[in-house]
Structures are given as C-alpha cells and as structure tokens.
Structure 1
Amino acid sequence: MPETGMSHSTVAPEIQAFFDEPTNTVSYLVWDPRSAKAAVIDPVLNYDHTSGEAATDAADLILQVAQANGLDIEWVLETHAHADHLSGAPYIKLKTGAKVGIGEHIRDVQKIFRPVFNATDLKGDGSEFDHLFSDGEVLEIGDLRIEIIATPGHTPACISYRIGDAVFVGDTLFMPDFGTARADFPGGDARQLYRSMQRLLSLPDDTRLFMCHDYKAPGRDAYAWETTVAEEKRDNIHIGGGTSEDDYVAMREARDATLSAPALLMPSIQVNIRAGKLPPAESNGVTYLKIPVKLAG
C-alpha cells in the first residue's frame, strides 16, 4: 500500500507510450523490469460523441502489450479528472483487478461538478476511486517507488508521478514548443499552475518529463511527448527563460479567454469524476450523459 515520505526510486522503469490521436492523449504502461509489476497512467476509453458509442481499442492495446511482456498491472494512475477524453480505468480494472488512484483533491472537483450535472449518486468524498493520493506519498509497485507530487492549477486535483528520473506531468506542462495547460476550468488557477510548474522545473535538469497530450505545434511534423526539465526551462514558449509569475498569469488568463471548450468536456467530466464509470442507468435501463443547457438572455 502507499506510504508517506519522499524517496527516489533506485530502479529505472520501463516505459511504453500509447498515443490516441482522436483525443491527442498519451497513455503510458510503466513497469518494474525485475518483478514485472506494472501501472497504467491515464488510459483512454474510445468514445464517439456523435453516436454515443464507446469502444475499448486503446485500452486493449495496452493490455495486449502488458500480456506480451508478462506484466501484472497493479494500478491505474490518473493524473487528474480529464476534460478531453473518457478514462479507460474501469475496463483495465475489470480485466486485471488493478486499483484506480487519483489525487485527493478530486473531492473538490466532484463538489464543483456534482450540482452541474445533478449527479446525486456522487458522495463527493472520492470513494469511487480505490485510493486518493496525497502530496509526498510514495507508492511501491514491485521495486519501483512512485512519488506523488501535487501540481494543481489546471484542476485542483492534478498530480504528477515521479518514478526514478521520469515524471508523468499530466496536463501541467506541454512540449516546449506548445507551452502550458489552460487554467480556466472551474477550480483552475493560473497562479497556482505557475507554482506547480516551478516545482517540477526545480527537479534535476536531466529529469525526463512525459506529457499527457501533444497537439503537434506549428512547424513540427511529428507528435512528441517526452522532454526534459532543462529543455522546458530553456525553451518553453510560455514559461521558458525565467518568465515571472505575474507575466505568466497575465498571458495565461488572456489566452484562456480566447479558448473554446474541449469537444468532449461534458461527457468526459461527468464520467471521469466517477473514476471512469458511466452515470447510473435510468428507469428504462439506459445510461445517459447530460449536457446542461443555458438559454441566452
């Protein structure tokens, strides 16, 4: 079980990335080469919003690779309640018995969105998840030691996972040529996000940073999702070169005001605050995803 206290892993993890182009999401299979114990970070459930149909192709590919390598998946680790894709966590849990974990401030996110969707089944205590991680907690998977780093700002519940020289940063940072995450979702805070990023950028320069998304910045031909602390500090178009907190906040807030909502915002949030589970079926046995309607005027 998780324990409290910071410790740096002495075992280098094996890492395989899986890119879901429809949602621009990167999921990761991470394992201990000694024990073959593994974790999946930010898995995707394939979902077509126009038809309401869901599929498990992305998660099945991860499971196939895990099986081919003889891996035992013990955990599904969410960096936050995603607003741009539905989580594949329940499916991986069903197939492997893995536990599902997320940051403890998912409670705050649940309390924000519970009234938005009239999600009366939600208790607001995070109990839909198997474990809520606190800042500084350490999770052991085989000989891997995974340190929990709270990185709020994009959402209150954002956390990063540090495993050896690798950190899985969720939506806190993007590749240097694309910048940083938005902070205008309910509970988001640009100033808090800046401080979270500085916490990550205080790690050793050669620390590898693994993104949760890539949108192939203009001028770049291929998707990419791995960089380093040194590259982010030097080249990130939003915070590189010593950008001050006030300058960053002014830029972030002005930029966020121009952004449209993610295409899958409504279905993603109401599923992901339930640990990837669908809302309860209604009296006709059908499950529905809600879209709150606001009339102008």
Structure 2
Amino acid sequence: MSGSSRPSGPAADPVVEAATRQVMAALADPALRPVVRTFFDEETFTATHVVHDPATMKAAVIDSVLNYEASSGRTKHGSAQKVVDYVRETGLEVEWQLETHAHADHLSAAPWLQEQLGGKLAIGADIRRVQDVFGKIFNAGTEFARDGSQFDHLFQDGDTFSVGSIPAIALHVPGHTPADMAFVIGDAAFIGDTLFMPDYGTARADFPGGDARMLFRSIRRLLSLPAETRLFLCHDYKAPGRDVFAWETTVGAERAHNVHVHDGVAEDDFVTMRSARDRTLSLPSLIMPSVQVNMRAGHLPEPEENGVSYIKVPVNRL
C-alpha cells in the first residue's frame, strides 16, 4: 500500500492534512524520521516510548510507568529507571514528558522522570474535563484544581511542536477518554489508547466521558494518515495465537487487518460491537490509584495531617 493510498472522507480535515504533509516529508527525508526505543512493562501491559532526533539528540518520553503495588500501596521506579538509564547512556536531552491521556491502568512516572531528566510535562487540553468528572467521583475537594495547571503544557488539536529538529503535531482523538491526544512526530504517530495491534482491535470506550461513536471517528481520523505512517501503541495484551508482545504497526496494516475497524466497517456496526464488548469487561485493577494520580499529572494526592498520601475507593460508584 503506497503512501498516497488514503481513505476518502466527506470533508477535508485541516489538522490531518497538516499531519499528512509532515509524514510525507519525513518519508521523503530520513533526517526527519525519529528513532524510537520502547520499554514494555508487563505488569500493566504498557509501552513507554522514548523518541529522539538523531541529529540533535533531543528526545521525548511518552506514557511512562510508575510501578505500584496495590496490596501495600507502595510505589517503585523500576520501569522508569530503565528509561533514565537508556537516556543517559545514549546521551539524550529530554524536551518533553508526554501523556496521551490520563491512564486508568497504570500510574504515570512523569514527575519523577522530570526530576531525573527534565522536559515539559504535557497532555491534551481536555484533561480539564477528565479532572472535572473524576474530581467529583473521588470527591477531591475544592483544593484540587480542575484547570490542568498541574501540567506544564496543554495541547489543543492541531498544535505544532518539535522534538529537536523533527516537526510534530498533536491530534485530538477522544473516545476512550475525552482527553486522548495522538502525537505525530515525523513519520511516527504515538496514538495512546485508540487502536491496538490489528489482531487485537480497539480500546474500550466505557469509562466516564468515553464514547464508542467518538472513538470510531477518532480512529478513522488516524487512519486517514498515509499508509506508511508508523503507529506506536500504548498497550498490548497478546491476541490469541500470538506469543510475543507487540506495539508497533502501520496505518496500512490497521486499515487492512484490524479486527474491529478495518476498511469497510461501518460506524454503527462498530458502535454496536464496541458497546457490547465493553459490557463484558472488568475495570482495570489499578483504576483507583491510577486515575487519582494521573489526573494530578502523576503526583500523589496531597498528604494529610500525618504526612501520608491516601488513595480513595468510592464504594458502589464506578
């Protein structure tokens, strides 16, 4: 499938068109293609991507993991330390700590990585909607700001930035949560919880603020990028019959083979399938600590008068 092979749409999407021009430029010029090193945390099935510009050695860390032991409430930095070691050994300079969304299945290590490596901590601007919804669910109180101010930067749809000399653009892809953002860096798109590997399908859309129809439209937006666009996923769970974890695919592969949203799948059929499938799923085991921490940009809740931070569990609420 060639780079010019793209699905037709009823109307032009200027942000996708801009991202397409960027990808095509990177496909034509190897200097605009980033190097990606992925660290996979098997406990949470999460892929953390370190993406860098080989010309300047500037880098971004995307969707980092803070290890959390639910039975004891203890945090550890084993997964994040691997990122630190790699960045230092490779001689990278971190410019960005990027979150594709407020994760419900793992805690972010971004604040700790900032202390070790630097970089601006950023997420999509609609994190404010997530903070509002979950601030109420967890009764976080008026002291919890719902304005995204815990982050250094909030991306709007179509915002451009760079990693070193490689151009990048943010694409709003809600559906899994209202705040999901994909980051297209050169010819590589980091798409968070929207798509999984073609043999596994798509992300759930049943969390508060999620929407299966919106997810379908966001996915079609991503799949409007050139077929050769590299896609880097946030999770993998090994589809039946596959024995190894995988987190990299392409737009072309997803369009041809994704078991939920390959070319030809109608929106209504996807919504029916996704909604039925979501009703069979249990909540992620770490949703309580993850959301409370991640809506705070990876910071623990403020310590109480005894100096200890606490994770709340709302009874019969989720």
Superposition TM-score, scaled by structure 2 size: 0.90
SS at match of 1:114: helix
TM-aligned CA deviation for residue 216 of structure 1: 0.4
Q: Read off the aligned partner of 2:65 and give its amino acid letter.
A: V
Q: 1:161 — aligned with what? A: 183
**Contact in 2 for aligned 1:6/1:138 (Cα 8 Å):** no
Confirm or deny: 8 A CA contact 2:162 2:185 kept in the other structure: no
Are positions 1:200 and 2:200 aligned together? no
What is the CA-CA distance between 1:211 and the residue it aligns to? 0.6
1:133 corresponds to 2:146: no
Distance in 2 between residues matched to 1:19 and 1:158, nearest whole Å: 20
Distance 2:88 2:118 in 1: 14
Partner of residue 23, structure 1:
44
Measure, in 2, the Cα distance between the counterparts of 1:165 and 1:70.
23
- Corresponding residue number in structure 1 for 2:132: 111
Report the AA paired with residue 166 of structure 1.
A
Amino acid at match of 1:186: P
Matches of 1:129 and 1:122, distance apart in 2: 13
Task: Specify the alignment match of 2:286 in structure 1.
Answer: 264
Give the paired residue count. Answer: 292
Q: Does 1:124 align with 2:146?
A: yes
Matched, 1:275 2:297: yes
Distance in 2 between residues matched to 1:236 and 1:264, nearest whole Å: 27
Within the candidate set 30, 45, 55, 1:34 is matched to 55
Which of 110, 116, 119 is the matching residue for 1:98?
119
In structure 2, the residue corresponding to 1:39 is in which secondary structure? strand
Report which stretch shifted further, 187-196 or 286-295.
286-295
User: Which residue of structure 2 aligns with residue 55 of structure 1?
Assistant: 76
Partner residue of 1:74? 95
Q: Is the 8 A contact 2:163 2:185 kept in 1?
A: no
* Residues 37-62 of structure 1, C-alpha deviations (whole Å, 9 max, x = no match): 11100000011101111101111111
Give the direction of change, closer, same or farther, for the CA distance of 1:123–1:267 in structure 2 (3 Å limit): same
In the alignment, which residue of structure 2 is the partner of 1:216? 238
Tell me the SS of whatever aligns to 2:303.
Answer: coil
The 3-state SS of whatever aligns with 1:233 is helix
Matched, 1:176 2:236: no
RMSD: 1.4
Gaps of 5+ in 1: none
1:294 aligns to 2:316 (yes or no): yes
The sequence identity of aligned pairs, in percent, is 55
CA contact (8 A) 2:130 2:178 kept: yes
2:260 to 232, 238, 259: 238
| Structure 1 position 294, deviation (Å) | 2.5
**Which consecutive residues of structure 2, in runs of 5 or more, have no partner in the other structure?**
1-14, 27-31
Tell me the distance in 2 between the aligned counterparts of 1:6 and 1:125: 28
Structure holding more helix per residue: 2
CA-CA distance at 1:80 after TM superposition: 0.1
> Would you identify which runs of 4 or more consecutive aligned residues in structure 1 move more than 2 Å?
4-7
The Cα of 1:241 is off from its aligned counterpart by 3.6
Distance 1:241 1:203 in 2: 14
Q: What is the TM-score of this pair, normalised by structure 1?
A: 0.96
